[in-house]
Amino acid sequence: MTKLDNRYSEEINIVAKRAGFVEYLWNNPRRKRELVEELDYSRSTVNRAVRELKGAGFVRDKGNRHVTTLTGKYAAERYHAYIQESTDIISAREILSPLDNTLLSSEFLFDAETALLAGPAPKQPVEYLIEVAENANTISAFLPSLSDKRELELLLGLCSQRGVQLGLNFTSESLEEIVDRYPELIRGLCDNEQCTVQQGPTPDFSLYIIEAEEEASVLIIVYDEMQSAYGILKTSTATAVKEGKALLQSFSAGLTDASEEIQQETVELSSSPVEWNSLVGTTHGP
């Protein structure tokens, strides 16, 4: 258990309680009576707040007005960041429930769109992928499982029709299943010069990093114990993209090229590229 530094617990409680005053007084130095009028607090509340904030070093006197100190500004900013980040984490708790390791960084959760794939007609992973891949130049991915054939169809269409550069990394188990179920699609990907197919260890969730001209996005698919798609995380924060690339790099040493092996196993097949636009607007079903 991490031992917390409680030296400034009183100050932390004050900034949590009085963050509104701290933020207001940074840009709006005011007298107490002006705070009463403008913030609609009682005089006693304003007097108590100013006294507490000055005692904590978050507010000081400037002439005949009160103004937020730099310490107060930074403390309030970090408090609000903590509240927002904690909210993002808690809102994703159902999606995280099948996972039991920390490979999925908390950075993927901040400012993310999240969805459970449950209910009568849930939006499917491939539909999220279509949205973020429309202007893609490169896509890198971990694919420990595949719950929808259309993901492969979309990826094949993107590289064959749009020239999108693909780097696809499968577990040996997921790749074996794909070769068995969708040999034409995986052979088509292996035959395309824009695509590399590798196998080896991966996280237990799918991770797509989609890079376009002006923006990059991360799409994560979490699976349940039956390897069915369970939840989605989608984010475009720079930190999440950086974390995703670092995770890809951390597994790269254990990955080996699988294209030649797949081509030998599917030697009797010829690839059948799929038009990317044919998947736009598709809804549900494998």
Angle at CA of residue 37, ends 31 and 43, nearest 5°: 70
Task: Taking residues 24-35, report their average pLDDT.
Answer: 94
Angle at CA of residue 227, ends 226 and 231, nearest 5°: 110
Chain centre distance of CA 247: 13
State whether residue 114 is helix, strand or coil.
strand
Give the lowest-confidence range in 4-8, 173-177, 200-204. 4-8
Q: How far apart are CA 136 and CA 212, in angstroms?
A: 4
Angle at CA of residue 260, ends 256 and 262, nearest 5°: 95
Give the lowest-confidence range in 7-21, 64-78, 271-285. 271-285
Q: How far apart are CA 138 and CA 196, in angstroms?
A: 12
What is the value of pTM for the model shown? 0.83
In the predicted model, is pLDDT for residue 276 greater than 80?
no
**pLDDT for the residue numbered 214:** 87
Task: Taking residues 27-41, report their average pLDDT.
Answer: 93
Q: What are phi and psi of 168, to 5 degrees?
A: -110, 125
CB crowding 11-39: b at 16 or more within 10 Å, else e: bbebbeebbebbbebbeebbeeeebbeee
In the predicted model, is pLDDT for residue 225 greater than 80?
yes
pLDDT bracket for residue 64 (50, 70, 90):
very high
What is the pLDDT of the chain when averaged over all its residues?
A: 90
266 versus 283: the higher-pLDDT residue is 266
Which among 108, 92, 106 is positioned nearest to 207, based on CA atoms? 108
Report yes or no: 121 and 99 within 8 Å, Cβ to Cβ: no
Which residues make Cβ contacts (< 8 Å) with residue 166, sequence separation at least 6?
Answer: 138, 139, 140, 141, 155, 158, 159, 189, 192, 194, 195, 196
Which among 103, 181, 180 is positioned nearest to 142, based on CA atoms? 103
148 versus 51: the higher-pLDDT residue is 51
Percent of the chain with pLDDT over 90: 76
Both tokens of residue 34?
């002006």
Neighbours of 261 (CB within 10 A): 15
Residue 231, beta-bridge partner list:
116, 222
pLDDT bracket for residue 286 (50, 70, 90):
very low
**pLDDT for the residue numbered 249:** 94
State whether residue 76 is helix, strand or coil.
helix
Chain centre distance of CA 83: 18
CATH number, domain 9-87? 1.10.10.10
Report yes or no: 134 and 108 within 8 Å, Cβ to Cβ: no
Q: How far apart are CA 151 and CA 168, in angstroms?
A: 12
pLDDT bracket for residue 264 (50, 70, 90):
confident
In the predicted model, is pLDDT for residue 278 greater than 60?
no
Domain boundaries, the chain: 9-87, 102-279
CATH class held by domain 102-279: alpha beta
**pLDDT for the residue numbered 2:** 65
**pLDDT for the residue numbered 104:** 93
